[in-house]
A and B are shown apart, each in its own frame.
Chain A
Amino acid sequence: MVSIGNVAAHRSPLTDGARAMLPAIVAYVPFGLLVGAHVATSPHPLVAWLGTFTIYGGAAQLALLDVLAAGGSVVAAAVTALLLQARLAVYAAALAPDWRTAPLRARLLAAVTLTDVPWAMSQGRAAQTGDVASRRRFYLGAALTLWAAWPVFVTAGMLGGTVLARQPVAGLVAPLLFGALVAPHLRERRGAVTALAAAATAAVTAPWSTGSAVLLAAAVGAGTAALADVGRR
C-alpha cells in the first residue's frame, strides 16, 4: 500500500500519482453516491448531473442542490456553492509557482482537474522532491485518476446508491480522508499551529454556512502561517 507521507518512486511520476490516488478513490465512493442520490431526487436531474462534470466539486454541488431543494433562491444557491469553491483559488495559488513554465494545455488540464485531494497529495510530493517536472506529472496522475472516477460514483449514486450513502458512518469518510491529508502537516510547528487556528475557527463558526466558515478558517490559517513565517525569521 502506498504511504501518504512517503510515496515511493515506482515507475513514472504519473503512475505514482495515479497509484497514490487509489485509496482516496475508494474513500470517495460513499461521498459520490451521496451526491448522486441528491442528483436523482432533484427536480431537474439531467442538469444537476451535468454539474458533476462542470462544477467538479461534490460539496458545492451538494450544497447547491440542498439550497434549491429547501426552496432557496437562485442567488442563495449560487453564492453558497461559490463560497465553497473559493478554496480552489487558494489551492491554485499554492500550485502556481510549479506550473509557471508548463505548456498552456498542461496548465489548463491541471486547473480543470484541481480539487482537495490531488492538491494535498502534490504538497506531500513537493516535500520529497525538488524536481518540478516530476511533481507536475505526479499531480496530473493523481488528479486525472480522480477526475475520471468521480462522475462514475455520482452516476452510480443516481442509479441506486442511496442505501449505502445514507448510512451514518458514511458521513465520517470525508473528515477521515481530509484528516489523513492534513496529518503530515501537523508534524511541523507551522502546520500544527495553522491547523489548530483553523480548527478553533471552524468550531466557533459551527452555526455558519459551510462555505463562509471554511473561507474564514482559510483566512485565519493564512494569517497564522504568515505570522509563523515572520516569527521564524
Chain B
Amino acid sequence: MCTMIVTKADISGSGKGQQGWFKLSQANVSFDHPFHAPLEHALNIDFVNEAEGPGARVAVELSAESARKLVEAILAALAQGEASGYLVATESTLRR
C-alpha cells in the first residue's frame, strides 16, 4: 500500500467473518488507505488466520482518533478485569 506502515501481533481468540466464526492467529495493524472508510488513510486492523486463507479476515477501518479511543477502551476494560480479580495481572501488564 502507499504508506507501507504495518505492524503485526500474534493473537489468540475468535473472529466472526463472512463464513462464520473462526480461530484468529494474527492481527495486522496498518495505517494506510482503507477500502471503505471515507478517509485517505485509516488505522486498519485485520484479524486473520492465514492458514484458513485470505477470506478468514475480520476487518475494521478507523479514524486515528477512533483508534486511540479504542486503545484506551481496551486497556481500561483489561484494567477493570484485573482490579476485579477476573484477570490475573501478567508481568507485561504490571510493567505499564
Query: Do these two chains interact?
Result: no
